[in-house]
Chains A and B, each alone.
Chain A
Amino acid sequence: MSFDIPEDRQYLESHEWALETDNGIRVGITEFAQDELGDVVFVELPDEGEALTQEAEFGVIESIKAVSDLYAPVSGEVVAINEDLFDSPELVNDDPFGEGWMLEIDPDDSDELETLLTAEEYAGQIA
């Protein structure tokens, strides 16, 4: 099975993606990750205003069969969270790179993005 890996964003080994937007760094999990988890039923996210540290846990995602931690791709302040996920966690399965996004971070240091995996590198990791 082959998975979509958009080239417009960067990736963490732990299967999160990071996309630069006007509002900050948008974060979600990859199509591969949602497929591994199966039906997502619960997402726990930090509050707006919370400070995150690169590669530290920022939340938890649960499918029917598994519980998995979520890791921040960059350090910074949470400026938005996707509250739709609280009532519709299945958005993560249906549209992991779009409507299933989780939060947006105002990065402390944009250079941290450079340390993440490219789409090609991430593709190699999950191959």
Chain B
Amino acid sequence: MPLSKPPLWDTHGDRGAKFTEFGGWDMPVEFDSIRAEHQAVRDDAGIFDVSHMGQIHVTGPDATTLMNRLTTNDVSRLEVGDSQYAAITDEDGIIIDDTVIYRLPDAEGEAAYLFVPNAGTDEATHGRWVEYRNQWDLEATVDNQTDEYAMVALQGPNAPTLLEDVTEKAVTDLSRFEARYADVGGIECWVARTGYTGEDGFELLAPWEAAEDLWGTFDCQPCGLGARDTLRLEAGYVLSGQDFDRESNPRTPYEANIGFVVDRETEFVGRDALAELAEGGLEERLVGFELIDRGIPRHGYDITNTDGRVIGTVTSGTMSPTVEQAIGLGYVPIEYADPGTTLQVIVRGQSKKARVEPLPFIETV
């Protein structure tokens, strides 16, 4: 299957970006250097093309019910212009994907939502929503608009200033996870104070054909998926398909350290299983760790206890540009999950000493 291209594919190529396949998309991984891009976001501001993320639009009399029954958080709490992070779980409480749900202005008197599943999962997610809507006989329109939206993330401590310079209506008064429509450099965008870097910033959703104009509106460091990954890892944010995967590494939100998105007072697919698990206590959990010995943890490396017995697996790892230490995420039995616990990571056959660290690795917004 040919890779999907983001609307800015040519622009990125002209800018000298290196590309990588991600979730079926050919995306820029690096423009200048991951370290420089990472640092720009931590100290100043950077801009990311995240048009590979999915967009699914849900509206109708039963839109809220449908959203609430298929995601773990309480969608009914959202007022227009609110958003929330949530997991999509199966009947066993296993995470299928994670997502951010935006409540848009009502459409023809009905609640309307736009949610953003991860790259490459939009078709399956859309299918899931349609299937359950039909099964439950709910009145809601579910529309996969992934190819209609460009999505750009403007992140970093100076992101508000950059954005304020090009918007007529104030947007910097938005609180974290608030959103509204605003004119950005002449382009009508859905502007949300959300992000995946641990810094202040915004995510902008615009019509696909406006992507180039929107991108050109901001004079700051372009950043690729490489920096996006090191930034989110320092912030302790999990990555769908890597830190959890329904097939290869099935995990519940509790295990994946995102139990805060589970509202068991609501009725959703997977709730009963998760309620049972919450009663019984956790056996394994995602932890952050630093490597004390020289080496870099990578996805799939074994984690052992100090006796050398394999107790877990690294799901993400890198050399942290901010902390300047090799850091990682991985699942370990709960008795090894306390910060300060000594572990070992097997790097090319050699045991490297590691220590469990509290998450996030850095201070986040």
Q: Which residues of A contact B (CB under 8 A)?
A: 1, 38-39, 41-42, 44, 60, 62-65, 67, 86, 93
Contacts and interface: CB of A to CB of B under 8 A. Distances in A.
Which 5 A/B pairs are nearest by Cβ-Cβ distance?
A41-B319, A39-B35, A64-B34, A65-B226, A62-B296
Interface in B290-304: 294-296, 298
A17 B348 CA distance: 25
Contacts of B230: 64
B34 A65 contact: yes
A39 B298 contact: no
B16 interface: yes
A41 to B, nearest CB: 4
B145 interface: no
B163 interface: no
A3 to B, nearest CB: 13
16 contacts: A38-B18, A38-B30, A39-B33, A41-B319, A42-B319, A42-B326, A44-B348, A62-B319, A64-B226, A64-B321, A65-B29, A65-B34, A65-B226, A65-B229, A86-B294, A93-B33
A60 B34 contact: no
Contacts, number: 39
Contact of B34 (A1, A38, A62): A38
Contact of B296 (A1, A41, A86, A93): A41
Interface string B284-315: 00000000001110100000000000000000
A60 B348 contact: yes
Nearest to B16: A1
B318 interface: yes
A55 B63 CA distance: 62
Contacts of B318: 64
A107 B16 CA distance: 40
Contacts of A38: 18, 30, 33-34, 226
Contacts of A62: 296, 319
A41 B296 CA distance: 9
Interface in B315-342: 318-319, 321, 326
B298 A67 contact: yes
B34 A39 contact: yes
Nearest to B319: A41
Contacts of B326: 42
Nearest to B298: A67
Nearest to B230: A64
B191 to A, nearest CB: 30
Given A42-B319, A63-B34, 7 more contacts: A39-B33, A39-B321, A42-B326, A44-B295, A44-B348, A64-B226, A64-B230
Contacts of A60: 348
Interface string B228-265: 01100000000000000000000000000000000000
Nearest to A86: B294
Nearest to B318: A64
Contacts of B296: 41-42, 62, 67
Contacts of B295: 42, 44
B297 to A, nearest CB: 11
B36 to A, nearest CB: 8
Contacts of B319: 41-42, 62, 64
Contacts of A64: 34-35, 226, 230, 318-319, 321
A60 B296 CA distance: 11
A42 B294 contact: yes
Contacts of A63: 34
Contacts of B34: 38-39, 63-65
A44 B349 CA distance: 13
Interface in B19-37: 29-30, 33-35
Nearest to B29: A65
Contacts of B294: 42, 86
A63 B30 CA distance: 12
A67 B347 CA distance: 11
A62 B348 CA distance: 12
A26 to B, nearest CB: 23
A64 B294 CA distance: 14
Contacts of A39: 33-35, 321
Contacts of A67: 296, 298
A1 B16 CA distance: 9
A39 B227 CA distance: 11
Nearest to B30: A38
Contacts of A41: 296, 319
Contacts of B16: 1
